[in-house]
Amino acid sequence: MNKEIAIWQRKWEREKNARIQAEAILEDKAFELFEASELLKKNNEDLENTVEQRTKALKESQRRLETFISNLQYGILLEDENRRMMLTNKAFCSIFSIPVAPEALIGADCEAAVHEIKNLFVDADYFVSRIDQLLDKRALVLGDELYTTDGRILERNYVPIFYDDDYIGHCWQYRDVTQLRLAQEQIKLSEEKYRGVIENMELGILEVDNNGLIVRAYQRFCEMTGYNEAEIVGKNAADLLLTEQSKKTLEEQTDTRNKGEASNYEVQMLRKDGSLIWVVISGAPIFNTNKEITGSMGIHLNITQRKQMETELKEAKIIAENAQYAEKEFLANMSHEIRTPLNAIIGMAHLLYDTRPTKQQREYLDVLKNASNILHGLISDILDIAKIEAGKIEIQNKPFDLIGLVRTLQKTFQMRANEKELQVEAMIDARIDGLVIGDELLLNQILLNLLGNSLKFTETGHIGISTRLLKRQEGKVAIEFKVYDSGIGISSEKLPMIFQKFKQVDNNRQQQHRGTGLGLAIVKELIELQGGTIKAQSELGEGTSITFTLSYADGGNVELQTATNIPESVTNHVPLNQLNVLVVEDNEMNQRYVLGLLQKWKIPFDIAANGSEALALVQKKAYNLILMDLEMPIMDGYNATIAIRNTHNHNQRTPIIALTASALIDQKHKALGVGMNDFLTKPFAPTQLKQLLIKYAPNAIDNLNGEVEHTFKFNEQLDSSFLDIFYEDDMNHAHEMFDTFLNDVLPDFPILQNLFDAEKWEEVQKLAHKLKPTVAMVGLTWLEPLLLLIEQATRKHPVDNLPNIAQAIEKVNHDLQTYTPILQTEWQRLKDFCVIAT
């Protein structure tokens, strides 16, 4: 019993435990279930959200599709397999003028509709039959073109629709291509037009592919080369048509074209008949629709004739240039060659003034001098223009006294104008002061030329020069120069010609007004070379004015140390050897004579052979006295004096003594008029020079007197009284004169006889003239009239005076033979005396 109870008790225990286990498990399961349920709920919600989003997106996509279709440019008509309308759009309705909304057509019978709209088309039956045909075949057909009765062109695509091989309908796409076709037509016409134009313009067109093989040759090209198109298509253009040289040119061009650039080049081409032609090729790449180069097109123009002409022209040009160069060379050489003897003429003419010519001889000399000066001017013009054209003019940049230059010119021209009773004016802008930096010589040349013209063409009234300061800034001064006159003027038609080369305004006046016609051309060139401008104003009979502007660097107010700052009295106190004398003299004999005296008196001196040299010297040094010959080549004493007196230099107030061979009063007036202080007539005696030195530097001369003693006695057989006066106490000088005479002059006398024997009268005359002044200097004064006789007789009527001349020559030579030993003795005596004296 107890056992049974124990069993039951255990069973009860076991079942109770099982129940507790089951409950716990169930609770766990319930909890798991709850969680699973929650998860499921959440999944469900997520799923719903996703579904919602997907639905929305789908709707959006559908809406877009519908909008897209309804707004398509294509008219869309979608039919099912039973030809019921499923979808259409606005464009479709618009193309077929259907007055309802596209949605309203859904479900309509398309077969019936075809018949309703068929009459819109030009060929209504074709429209219907074509649709039937397309529907029958169910194959994609694109680009059918249909013509409507109202002139439109419609393009239609037929697209059958299959689903898993089952035919489920089809889509029609219509498009109005009227404008497109018109434009295409237009392009086609235009292309044909231009092709025609090019073909008619004798331009040969050739198309090649990227390998250079000919793709197409147009008619003109074929005519040009002598081939027909069929012969050359497919062949290599370069191999067939080009010479070896041309191929190289082509290769160079190929690079350019490979970059897609068009290019032009000239090559020689081989025709079918073997002849060569020159063509210019304009090549351009040909692109396909993908912008890739598929080949190139060359337009060929036959330029064979032009090339020929070009070559001929080149040759002609070279010949012409050579000829022109040769001409210029010739001109320049000749000018130079002419100038050399001309200088001798001018020099000699001036020396002749020193030979105490008669009034008539002086007049002849004046003519000779003027003529040779004119000739010199002409030659200089030609040389100048040659230099300008060769670019050989160098512009100097040195400080110079511009106002002085203008004043000098005014004075110079006033002097030259006196015979015409012309007034020469100079107006100077007071704002221009001090020095400017530039080319003085060029400005002088310009103004000389212009004033010279004015003087030449003006008989009464005035000529003048004015200067005006235009602007002064940044160290530069711009000056306007005006040269004007009251002369004959120039007519307005001729005015533009005046600056041209070799043009003279009035051919009729050439007799009266000579010149090269280069003057103004040179002036213009010279002004433009310096960066200036020139213009002319004139009226016939009313005078002319020429205005030009030049710009100079401002040279500031650098004052030269001038003689004006040295009071005249200073010269009174300076020691003798600190005096300074400038001798301006072209005659060598006279030079030696004066220099001999000055050396003897121990007075320092400088020598200038002409006015121009003198001007250079007066810029460098202050002199106490200037001895100035009047007649000299290059620049005479008058002009030199004007320049010294009117420009900034050290000698503006230095006394200037004219040395003249003439005793003419008007010449002396003229000398004093240009600013000279006194004059000395050649030949002069030492005392005469001494008197002048005493007058202008008395202290110095006093010293002289004390120093030198006159003890030399000339041989009485010579004209000793003349010699005493002539050399006074300067035996050094006398010795030199005797030396010169014995060595240089004496050998010339026998020539007189030779020339006379050869009847060279002119040369006899010249020689006699040259020898005449020398005899007095060695005391043979009585020979002077004989030489004068020879000179005059041979000039006038040599044949009538032959006996007289012969007699005179004989006498001269005889006396010389007789007196030569005496002269030699005197020379030795003078030499000995001088050695002792020093």
Partner 1 sequence: MKGIVFTEFLDLVEERFGYEMVDTIIEKSDLPSKGSYTAVGTYDHAEMMLLLGNLSHETSIPTNDLLRLYGNQLFDTLMGGYKKHLVNINSAFELLSAIESYIHVEVRKLYPDAELPYFETEILSPDQLRMVYSSERKMWAFGLGLMEGCFRHFNETAHITHTLLTEDGSSVEFIITRNL
Chain residues in the site for partner 1 (CB under 8 A): 7, 10-11, 13-19, 21-22, 25-26, 29
Nearer to partner 1, 6 or 390 (CB): 6
Q: Which residues pair with 608 in a beta bridge?
A: 584
DSSP code at position 745? I
Helix axes 588-600, 761-777, angle to 10 degrees: 10
CB of 32 to partner 1, least distance (A): 11
Nearer to partner 1, 36 or 140 (CB): 36
Segments in 79-177 forming alpha helices (H): 90-95, 110-117, 124-137
Nearer to partner 1, 23 or 192 (CB): 23
Taking residue 183's Cβ as centre, other Cβ atoms within 10 Å add up to 11
Angle at 118 between CA 115 and CA 120, to 5 degrees: 145
Q: Which residues pair with 656 in a beta bridge?
A: 626
Report which secondary-structure segment, H or E, holds 247.
Answer: helix 244-258
DSSP string of 766-821? HHHHHHHHHHHHTT-TTHHHHHHHHHHHHHH-TTTTHHHHHHHHHHHHHHHHHHHH
Q: Is the dihedral of CA 554, 557, 563, 564 positive or negative?
A: positive
CB of 37 to partner 1, least distance (A): 16
d(CA 206, CA 384): 59
- Residue 399: asked if its preceding bond is cis (omega within 30°), the reply is no
Nearer to partner 1, 13 or 46 (CB): 13
Q: By 3-state DSSP, what share of the chain in percent is helix, strand and coil, each rounded to 5?
A: 55, 20, 25
CB of 2 to partner 1, least distance (A): 13
Nearer to partner 1, 32 or 748 (CB): 32
Nearer to partner 1, 23 or 103 (CB): 23
- Which has the closest alpha carbon to 160: 143, 129, 132, 138? 138
Nearer to partner 1, 36 or 65 (CB): 36
CB of 106 to partner 1, least distance (A): 46
- Residue with tokens 């759009």, as numbered in its chain: 89
Nearer to partner 1, 40 or 180 (CB): 40
CB of 26 to partner 1, least distance (A): 7
- Residue with tokens 């003034």, as numbered in its chain: 353
Nearer to partner 1, 4 or 273 (CB): 4
**Per-residue b or e along 783-807, where b marks 16 or more CB atoms closer than 10 Å to that residue's CB:** bbebbbbbbbbbbeebeebeeebee
CB of 3 to partner 1, least distance (A): 8
Q: Where are the beta strands (DSSP E) in 499-647?
A: 533-539, 543-554, 581-584, 605-608, 625-629
Nearer to partner 1, 12 or 167 (CB): 12
CB of 22 to partner 1, least distance (A): 4
Using CA atoms, how far residue 81 sits from 72, 339, 377, in Å, is 23, 118, 116
Q: Which two tokens stand for residue 778?
A: 């060695």
CB of 15 to partner 1, least distance (A): 7
Using CA atoms, how far residue 797 sits from 133, 329, 344, 368, 562, in Å, is 137, 44, 27, 21, 55
CB of 40 to partner 1, least distance (A): 15
Nearer to partner 1, 19 or 42 (CB): 19
CB of 30 to partner 1, least distance (A): 12
